[in-house]
Copies of this chain bind each other. A is one copy, B any other.
Amino acid sequence: MMRLLLALAMLIMPAAAFADGIIYNVNGLTLDEDGNVVRFNAMIVGSDGRVVKLFDLDRRDDFPEGMEWRADMEGRTLLPGMIDGHGHVMGLGFQLSQLNLTGTQSLDAALAQVGQWAGDNSARWIVGRGWNQEIWGLGRFPTAQELDSVTGDRPTVLDRVDGHALWVNSAALQAAGITKDTPDPAGGRIERDAQGNPIGILVDAAMNLIRDHVPQPTPRESNAAFLAAQRYLLAQGVTATADMGTTVEDWLLYRRMGDIGLLEIRIMSYGHGVDTALEVGGQGPTPWLYGDRLRMGGIKLYADGALGSRGAWLKADYADAPGQTGLGFLSDDQLGNLMVRGAMDNFQIAVHAIGDRANSQVLDVIDELVDTFDGDRRWRIEHAQIVDPADLPRFGKHGIIASMQPVHQTSDMAMAEARLGPDRLAGAYAWKSMIDNGSLLVFGSDFPVEDPKPFIGWAVAVSRQDADLRPFGGWQPQEIVTREQAWAAYTINAAYAGFAEDKVGRLAPGMQADFIIVDRDPLNVSARQLRETQVLETWIGGERVWKLGEEEPN
């Protein structure tokens, strides 16, 4: 039997450890299931990749017997792997594998980088992002002709840094059939020269004129993007993540990575809408696959848009756009029907809701459904950014999970004040209020919208200050949470929110040995120092999968 089982195990468990071992000489920290800090200096990892025991070891002579391997961590700090409660794995992968002009200081520098990338890559279309003509000091938009000079006739599409404009070349304009005669679409603008000819800049809704013509990535490109995302996440100490809106293509990719032993990170997958989840899971969630590395357990739905583009659905007008209240994507009945369809087959439901009206709508629907769908449902509201203070107590009911992203607060704070005005911020990014009202608080990054580095999010959560320590004292500082509360939101709570609390999120006998080695003790440094925590090693299932300075895992 062993021969077949070993072969199967090779197929399923990426590089699993096959003998009990001991990790010692560590400053070990974990939360227990109640959120209390536990310290230890040695850990036995079983041959199954799970924790056998945490303990204190005074002398090396005290090693227990039967250990087949040892790892001396030289006194460094060991923590459970961090869990991102809301990310987009393939979105990150494509961002990492595409041309990135962020930080270019001039048009010439940007053009040189585009030309370099075009020479190094054979993709039919050149797709990238990150340009900002303001930083370049150009005083105007760049043009298609300028881009043509380095791309030739390969269609090229480059997102502005804010995602609200595209810089495209002549081949892309031609592929999309955009000419002098193309009218500006509602909500968008084609920048034109004095003769009315498109200059190569498409703003807002006009971006869609070309997006449908960009070829889908090939499986080969998708494979590379996935591996880039996985490696980046492991390097940040993220050992598990929710994947919010997994498509069928994404799912097939994760499976083939699992099949050939390249899936290392644990993915808690939420299907992109009800139909995706049913197509993948059939009559319910999939089992945990590949040694607890992949499961589609839930469904991602959208109640509204985003605050920056005034798509978030508000109860009252936008302060900076009177008469507008944003976009509710679905009627109450539509949202309820989708949630019922998913819940009938025991999928967990996670609904994106940014504005206070959208949050209120989702809470209303949950109120209606709880009698029919009792049991352990773990309803999730994603983002929950702007909540009417009157609705905050409702998050504590029915075991609703508030899945929030600390860094959105620092990125958005000026914009949120503009959109809402000073008097409607009491329920904005209201982390502590969520806890006080009895909701389970989960943290994540919404990568690639924000960088997935969890130590930045942790630092923001306890300071409500950005990298420059602004604003002084923190923005709406009454919503600061404790260091332990924020840590729980990135570990035990994020695991619970993904129905994985018996597998990951903390170190204890029987839990997966997912842990990271970092260069400081996050409970004993300032928030600024916490932000700069450097991950040194990342381990999953008792196996080291990433080490600082090594190109490939050991």
Residues of A within 8 A of B (CB): 1, 3-6, 8-9, 11-13, 18, 46-50, 218-220, 222-223, 248-249, 251-253, 255-256, 259-260, 278-283, 286-287, 289, 291
Residue of B nearest to A280 (CB): B252
Please report the C-alpha to C-alpha distance between residue A315 and residue B251 in the assembled complex, in whole angstroms.
45
Does B280 contact A260, Cβ atoms closer than 8 Å?
no
Does A219 contact B260, Cβ atoms closer than 8 Å?
no
* Copies of this protein chain in the complex: 2
Does B5 contact A283, Cβ atoms closer than 8 Å?
no
Chain B residues within 8 Å of A50, by CB: 4
Known: A4-B291, A249-B279, A291-B8. A256 touches B286 (CB 8 A): yes
Residue of B nearest to A17 (CB): B1
Please report the C-alpha to C-alpha distance between residue A248 and residue B255 in the assembled complex, in whole angstroms.
13
Residue of B nearest to A4 (CB): B48
* Residue from B8, B13, B253 within 8 A of A282 (CB atoms): B253
* Residue from B1, B218, B249, B259 within 8 A of A289 (CB atoms): B259
Residue of B nearest to A278 (CB): B219
* Residue from B1, B256, B281, B287 within 8 A of A48 (CB atoms): B1
Chain B residues within 8 Å of A259, by CB: 286-287, 289
Residue of B nearest to A279 (CB): B252
Please report the C-alpha to C-alpha distance between residue A278 and residue B278 in the assembled complex, in whole angstroms.
22
Does B282 contact A220, Cβ atoms closer than 8 Å?
yes
Does B223 contact A282, Cβ atoms closer than 8 Å?
yes
Given A8-B8, A219-B279, 5 further pairs, Cβ under 8 A = A1-B48, A222-B282, A249-B279, A255-B255, A256-B286
Least Cβ–Cβ distance between A224 and chain B, in angstroms:
10
Does B219 contact A287, Cβ atoms closer than 8 Å?
no
Please report the C-alpha to C-alpha distance between residue A259 and residue B259 in the assembled complex, in whole angstroms.
12
Least Cβ–Cβ distance between A407 and chain B, in angstroms:
33
- A-B contacts, 11 of them at CB < 8 A, read A4-B9, A4-B49, A218-B278, A219-B278, A219-B279, A219-B281, A220-B283, A248-B252, A252-B279, A256-B281, A259-B286
Please report the C-alpha to C-alpha distance between residue A282 and residue B217 in the assembled complex, in whole angstroms.
11
Highest count of chain B CB atoms <10 Å: which of A1, A12, A50 = A1
Least Cβ–Cβ distance between A225 and chain B, in angstroms:
12
Residue of B nearest to A281 (CB): B256
Does A3 contact B278, Cβ atoms closer than 8 Å?
no
Residue of B nearest to A259 (CB): B287
Least Cβ–Cβ distance between A355 and chain B, in angstroms:
33
Residue of B nearest to A541 (CB): B4
Chain B residues within 8 Å of A12, by CB: 8, 12
Known: A1-B47, A47-B1, A287-B11. A256 touches B280 (CB 8 A): yes
Chain B residues within 8 Å of A281, by CB: 219, 256
* Residue from B5, B278, B280 within 8 A of A5 (CB atoms): B5
Does B283 contact A223, Cβ atoms closer than 8 Å?
yes
Please report the C-alpha to C-alpha distance between residue A181 and residue B355 in the assembled complex, in whole angstroms.
50
* Residue from B48, B279, B289 within 8 A of A3 (CB atoms): B48
Residue of B nearest to A248 (CB): B248
Please report the C-alpha to C-alpha distance between residue A1 and residue B17 in the assembled complex, in whole angstroms.
9
Chain B residues within 8 Å of A280, by CB: 252, 256
Please report the C-alpha to C-alpha distance between residue A46 and residue B220 in the assembled complex, in whole angstroms.
40
Least Cβ–Cβ distance between A294 and chain B, in angstroms:
10
Chain B residues within 8 Å of A219, by CB: 278-279, 281-283
Least Cβ–Cβ distance between A89 and chain B, in angstroms:
15
Chain B residues within 8 Å of A248, by CB: 248, 252
Residue of B nearest to A46 (CB): B1
Please report the C-alpha to C-alpha distance between residue A251 and residue B253 in the assembled complex, in whole angstroms.
13
